[in-house]
Structure formats: structure tokens, C-alpha cells
Amino acid sequence: MAPSVSGILCGGLRLGAWRTDMQGSRFHASRREKYGNVFKTHLLGRPLIRVTGSENVRKILMGEHSLVSSQWPRSLRMLLGSTSLINSIGDIHRHKRKIFAKVFSHEALECYLPKIQQAIQDGIREWSSSGEPIMVYQQAKKLTFRIAVRVLLGFRVSEDDLNLLSESFEQLVANLFSLPLDFPFSGYRKGMRARDNLYKYLEKAISEKLQCKQDKDYSDALDILIDSAKEQGKEFTMQELKESTVELIFAAFATTSSASTSLILQLLQHPAVLEKVRQELRSNGIFHNGCKCEDRPRMAAVARLKYLDCVIKEVLRLLPPVSGGYRTALQTFELDGCQIPKGWSVLYSIRDTHDTAPIFQNVGVFDPDRFGEDRDEDKSVRFSYIPFGGGVRSCLGKELAKVILKVLAMELASTSRFELATRTFPRMLTVPVVHPMDGLKVKFYGLDSNQNEIDPESESLLGTTV
């Protein structure tokens, strides 16, 4: 599974079904129908209890340190490092969360917002100036990785170096759940090599950052993390900084690129929703009109977009990037009539819980209004809507994820027209995160402030700035 804002920093690295996508979904649905919301299955050759349903999930998420704990396979512990937030438990985990929390505070997001918007504007301009359809999922990964490295970390990275870093990062993610066998050509060895390549580059970039006091008009996430640690009486070692930097990249990359792709898919399938987003932008006076950087909306203006909030919530309900969260039983206990032995793995299912929650009307229909004030379907039963997990390991970076998704939707609605470039919409796969089987091939057209299409040749001359 690819961790990210709703993975690593949630502390609940979520796992997809480790079977082929459609077979895995049908398999778990049939087992749930036969045995109920709590049943035994297997993961990587080990017995696993799969859990569905708000009440059952509540007991798992709120049972941290008493019923369950986070304990990851050796491959993940080695590849992400012993000092990483995800591999921390108890008081160490609580202390680290306090340090990381400031990175995702409202004040911090206010600092990141202009740079995030600029990066997304540049990305969409690149998509629409290509003259050819693009593979949205691949381009979304490229965009979110750029945001992670250049905006969050503040690294001045060339495009070539960015591509090399991205390749190493994806190789690391691809082998997080590999058999810990260190021999040539094994997945574990590939992951270790990718990690070492990342660490080598990151150590150089971090050292330069610490030595050179750069004049800039905002604080990036790495600056804030270092300052927050000092406020908590903690001086990060270089190893801790490297591991924390990898976690920050995860926070803005894997699941956010998945959700970004799903957002574009849903807007393509539901043009009336896209038009309603445009109307909300107009009514709030922030419809794109060629404004300069200093005129961009701030966090308060973005927060006023209530319908857009509902759209993002519905994307994450219908297509949560990952399927669930992994825990280990600290003691033998019973859940919904099923005994869970001490030491067994437990997977609480986000996707199944969303799909089966009785509070959602017409559960398979994309309907953002279900989250509006008149209905508030997610509020009636706690833990029925859990895209960011819950409990002591709930996602620290969820507000960052929502900001990226909202800015993407704002820019798509106001600066481009887009259409599916294939005859039919693609089938969605679930491993390692939700993504379209064909990458989602879409043609983008740039729009000027009067909503007229921009000539791709003239647009390509504008260049990028992030």
C-alpha cells in the first residue's frame, strides 16, 4: 500500500486487498455476506481479522494501546526507519505527533497556500498546453510530488533531479510490503537501494538548507518541523530529519494523487456538479480572472466554499484512496461475536464501512449534497465516514490534503475545460491505492478570464514558476 497524508501521518498505514483488484473486492464482499462484518482472512501469508462497520471500527480505532497497537512488518520498519512517526508507539508517538501537528496547523497551511496554488496553476497550464490528451493519474503523481518537494520542503530542485527523486520514491513505496529477504533483485533490496538514494540526496539538500539562511516570504514545512521540535525540547538528528522528510513527502503524494485523479473523474462524470462549483466560486468573488499572486484567496476564502467541501467529502466517501488501516491485537478480545486472538493482525476497512453504512442514502450514487447542512448524513453515526481514520492515529495531514484537492478543483473549474479522451470511463483498481486502470486519459483546454479557450501554442510560452 502506498502511504501518504491519509497513511503515514495518520499512523494507520492502510492496506489494499492483496489480491487482484476486482477479485479481491468480490472475495471480501462474499466473505462479509457469509460471515458478517468481522471475519478471518489472510495477508502476506499471515492470519488477519477484517473488520467492517462503524461500531466495530470505533472499538478498533479507540482501542489503541489497550486492545490494539501499531506494529508493522519488518520490511516497512526498515525502509521507513525506526525513528519515523509511523513506527513510533506510546509516549514517543504522542510526542512526535505534537511536533508534526504544527506542520499542518492553520497558520502553516496559510503559508503553503499561495505556493500550492501556483504549482497547481502551472500543472494545469502544462496539461492544457500539451495539445494532446494526458494520463491524469501519472500527471497527478508528478504534480503532488512537485508540491511535496518544492513547496512543503522548500528544496530548489531541477526538473531532472525531481524526476530521479520521484523514481526512487515510487520504488521505495512499491516495496514497503515485501518479504525482508536481502538478496539481489529482491523487492526488499530494491526498496533499500531506493531509500539509500533518497537519503543521499536529502542529506545534501537538508545540510544546505540548514547552513544557508534563505530569504523567502514564507516558512516551509521542514522549517516549521525543525522549529516545532526545538519548542518541544527536541533537536532532530540528521537521520531523524531524513526520515521525517520522507514522511512529509508521503503526506502530499500517494493518496493525494489518487484522490486528485478521482476528483477529476467525478467532475467529468457529473458536469452539473462542476457547474455548481463554478457558481459557488462566482458567488464568493474568487472565480479566476487572471489575478496576480497577491490577489489569490486566503484560507478564510477557501473555507467559505461549503459546496466544494461537500464535493471533496463525497469523492473521499465513494473512492477512498486506500481500503483500511492495519493494527495488531495486544490481547485476545471479542468483536461482534468473533474472537480476535492476541498477536493477530486486524484490518479495519474504510471502503467496506463507507459502502455498507446505512446512514448513506443511495450509497453508490455520487451526491455531494448528502454532506450539506440539510442532510449531514455523515454526522448521525460516528465512524461511518472515516477517510482519514480516527483515534490517536487519526490523520494529521488531512487538512493539507483537503486544501490541495480544493485548490485543484478551483483551478480546474475556473481555468480549464476538460473532456474524456476515451470512449468509456476506465475501471478503477484498488491496489496499492485507488486509481484508473488506464490512467484516465483526458484532454484539457486552457480558458482565459472570459472563459474563452486559449491557443495551446501561446499558452506553452507562458512557462512555469514553481
12 within domain boundaries:
no
CA distances from 205 to 199, 220, 248, 303, 309 (A): 10, 14, 15, 34, 36
* Contact (CB, 8 A) for 28 and 41: yes
Buried b (16+ CB within 10 A) or exposed e, 51-82: bbbbebbbbbbebbeebbebebbebbbbbbbe
Category of 434 on φ-ψ map: left (φ > 0), alpha (ψ -120 to 50) or beta: beta
Number of domains in the chain: 1
Strand partners for 46: 43
Nearest 5°: CA angle at 145, between 116 and 153?
65
Q: What CA–CA distance (Å, rounded) separates 270 from 37? A: 32
5 within domain boundaries:
no
CA atoms 389, 393, 394, 399: torsion sign = negative
105 within domain boundaries:
yes
441 within domain boundaries:
yes
CATH number at residue 271: 1.10.630.10
CA distances from 84 to 79, 104, 252, 380 (A): 10, 17, 16, 35
Buried b (16+ CB within 10 A) or exposed e, 388-417: bbbbbbbbbbbbbbbbbbbbbbbbbbbbbe
Q: Which domain holds residue 337?
A: 21-460
Q: Are strands 324-329 and 134-135 parallel, antiparallel or unpaired?
A: unpaired
56 within domain boundaries:
yes
Strand partners for 441: 135
Half-sphere exposure of 298 (CA within 13 A, CB side): 7
Omega of the bond leading into 321 within 30 degrees of 0 (cis): no
339 within domain boundaries:
yes
pTM of the model: 0.88
pLDDT at 456: 66
**Per-residue pLDDT averaged across 366-386, rounded?**
95
Going by pLDDT thresholds of 50, 70 and 90, the confidence category of residue 247 is: confident
Scan for cell 480546474, then name that residue. 412
Scan for cell 483526458, then name that residue. 442
pLDDT digits (tens, 9 = 90+) for 400-435: 999 999 999 999 999 999 999 999 999 999 877 899
Per-residue pLDDT at 99 exceeds 60: yes
pLDDT digits (tens, 9 = 90+) for 206-223: 998 888 755 555 689 999
63 within domain boundaries:
yes
Give the residue from 255, 314, 263 showing the smallest Cα distance to 418: 263
Q: What CA–CA distance (Å, rounded) separates 139 from 152? A: 19
Going by pLDDT thresholds of 50, 70 and 90, the confidence category of residue 10 is: very low
Number of H helices, E strands in the chain: 17, 12
3 within domain boundaries:
no
